[in-house]
Structure 1
């Protein structure tokens, strides 16, 4: 299993030492957001899945340009308190660890999209999107993101047209970029609770020549810059089941009557709870794309715009961008 993504919180030449320990997906998400480490120079951190789709079976690798001190090892261990064991410290041969850390990110071809992390030549007729593994989730290689890409591509092929789009928990911006390509001229808002992710999206947009997307650091929809342009004809949220359930009234409230809502980041075992939360807000399930243990949902908003009965409950927000 290749690295799902990496967080470059340091720099310098190829590392010659590696500190490894197990972690959970939740810890990996926190690590990949770019933790502040009391180390100078800082190591480069990479997280990866040890067991596909197992939230408890992840790995943290920290690359150092020189032998790490006991203080440095302790700082790395503090990032993964679930490990319950001493980190593995090993001397590496003189290798390009950046190449090693990216090796698992083979180019991904989904519909009309070719997502890659390097200099690969895209197939004819595809829209290439260069999304390197970096400081935010969303390289497209996880079933949730590739499933969303496939669903968006199919929607456009079937004649769907959207003038307004919002991407909640945008991560690297990949799904917002896809929407901009499929529906040029649409007003698109991309949000994330993590300011690092928004910075990454801005960088990726410039690298891919994507213009006109409004980027907002926001907790769900709880920002005037997200609510102001509502209602949206297409709502995308690729996060996690807990936030999806918590945010059901928020997302339904910013959806236009009859809007398309694409939800991902949930396991098949969590589908019923997520669907029930949105049905309670007047939405109807239109399609399920099951990919392994994961499901991508397409729902249709009610014929009348949903009006919440009370203030939004911010509980359940922990754990945002999921795409690997």
Structure 2
């Protein structure tokens, strides 16, 4: 395909952080577009951006649907841009300089770099999955895992793996551990598979699953390290199942939540006997390290995180 062939369209509108959070928390926006929200000025709640990617040029109905998501932009003309395959490559790599967190370096193809002595470099190109390491939640998780390097883990799960980066970091720190990486999005699982090959990380089991209730996940429980870098809403609703697959005294690393959402997440896990151990705040975002109780958590009744009512715990 030549670089001048239009591959898709990008529609951009300004928005507020509150609008962005509402979009991110929505289960189904009923819009035939890939929606992304971005903070454009750090710590400015009024200066965010919505980008919508569509296969066809957006018409009046699509524009109206997007504006309904961001009422603050009701009187603003959207910026509509035709994208070519070359545009996608340029966008995915633009500005993604290598990052360093502890012994880890994460870089793209456009910015190769050597790891520090005793460290590990991962090549993670931006693409169809979240988790290049450049977002505060992912880099914060890397730092949190790096801080656990002196501990030993035998059974690790990365829920919502995205690009696979955190699972790869775990494999480097604990090469003898059994590691499983899961995601609700089959595309993310495939990206993780490709990244594992690219980075020479063998042996990670991959599962496409909604939450932690899939048979392939529960069959390998209990886990002594649980990583979940997703969003605050799913973390709250999934607290019982994440606690249930955790072994006694397991470490649970959570991210994808804003500082304003921290207490709701902590409270949800506290109800499952999981207590807060450490916090890493990065701007508006917060990474949590929690500790499971001395006895394994077993739900006493069915619970409902998004249609999971009636789940019989058998792990």
TM-score bracket for this pair, using the shorter chain length: 0.7 to 0.9
Instruction: Tell me whether 19-28 or 223-232 shows the greater mean CA deviation.
Output: 19-28
Q: In the alignment, is the contact (CA less than 8 A) between 1:14 and 1:97 conserved in 2?
A: no
Q: Give the Cα separation in 1 of the matches to 2:229 and 2:58.
A: 39
With normalisation by structure 2, the TM-score equals 0.80
Q: Give the Cα separation in 1 of the matches to 2:293 and 2:277.
A: 12
Given candidates 73, 96, 99, the residue that maps to 2:90 is: 99
Instruction: Tell me whether 49-58 or 278-287 shows the greater mean CA deviation.
Output: 49-58
Helix, strand or coil for the counterpart of 2:137? Answer: helix
CA spacing shift, 1:249–1:109, aligned 2, 3 Å? same
Q: How many Å apart are 1:275 and its aligned residue? A: 1.2
Q: Give the Cα separation in 1 of the matches to 2:275 and 2:24.
A: 34
Q: In the alignment, is the contact (CA less than 8 A) between 1:139 and 1:172 conserved in 2?
A: yes
Count of matched residue pairs: 289
CA spacing shift, 1:152–1:13, aligned 2, 3 Å? same
Residues 269-288 of structure 1: pairs in structure 2 closer than 5 A: 269-288=260-279
Given candidates 211, 217, 224, the residue that maps to 2:202 is: 211
Helix, strand or coil for the counterpart of 1:155? Answer: coil
Q: In the alignment, is the contact (CA less than 8 A) between 1:192 and 1:219 conserved in 2?
A: yes
Q: Give the Cα separation in 2 of the matches to 1:135 and 1:306.
A: 35
Q: Give the Cα separation in 2 of the matches to 1:50 and 1:61.
A: 16
Q: Give the Cα separation in 2 of the matches to 1:217 and 1:292.
A: 31
Match of 1:147 in 2: 140
Question: Is 1:308 aligned to residue 299 of structure 2?
Answer: yes
Match of 1:322 in 2: none
Q: How many Å apart are 1:123 and its aligned residue? A: 3.7
Q: How many Å apart are 1:146 and its aligned residue? A: 0.7
Q: In the alignment, is the contact (CA less than 8 A) between 1:105 and 1:117 conserved in 2?
A: yes
Residues 1-324 of structure 1: pairs in structure 2 closer than 5 A: 12-13=2-3, 19-22=11-14, 24=20, 48-52=38-42, 57-60=48-51, 71=59, 81-83=68-70, 84=74, 85-89=76-80, 98-119=89-110, 120-125=112-117, 126-156=119-149, 159-315=150-306
Output the aligned Cα RMSD: 3.2
With normalisation by structure 1, the TM-score equals 0.77
Q: Give the Cα separation in 2 of the matches to 1:227 and 1:36.
A: 34
1:67-87 Cα shifts (integer Å, max 9, x gaps): x7565x865775675244543
Q: Give the Cα separation in 2 of the matches to 1:220 and 1:118.
A: 31
Which protein has greater RCO, CA pairs closer than 8 Å, 6+ apart? 1
Q: In the alignment, is the contact (CA less than 8 A) between 1:189 and 1:215 conserved in 2?
A: yes
CA spacing shift, 1:55–1:259, aligned 2, 3 Å? farther
Q: How many Å apart are 1:212 and its aligned residue? A: 1.0
Q: How many Å apart are 1:228 and its aligned residue? A: 0.4
Q: How many Å apart are 1:48 and its aligned residue? A: 4.1
Unpaired runs of 5+ in structure 1? 1-10, 38-43, 318-324
Q: In the alignment, is the contact (CA less than 8 A) between 2:92 and 2:125 conserved in 1?
A: no
Q: How many Å apart are 1:235 and its aligned residue? A: 0.5
Unpaired runs of 5+ in structure 2? 309-315
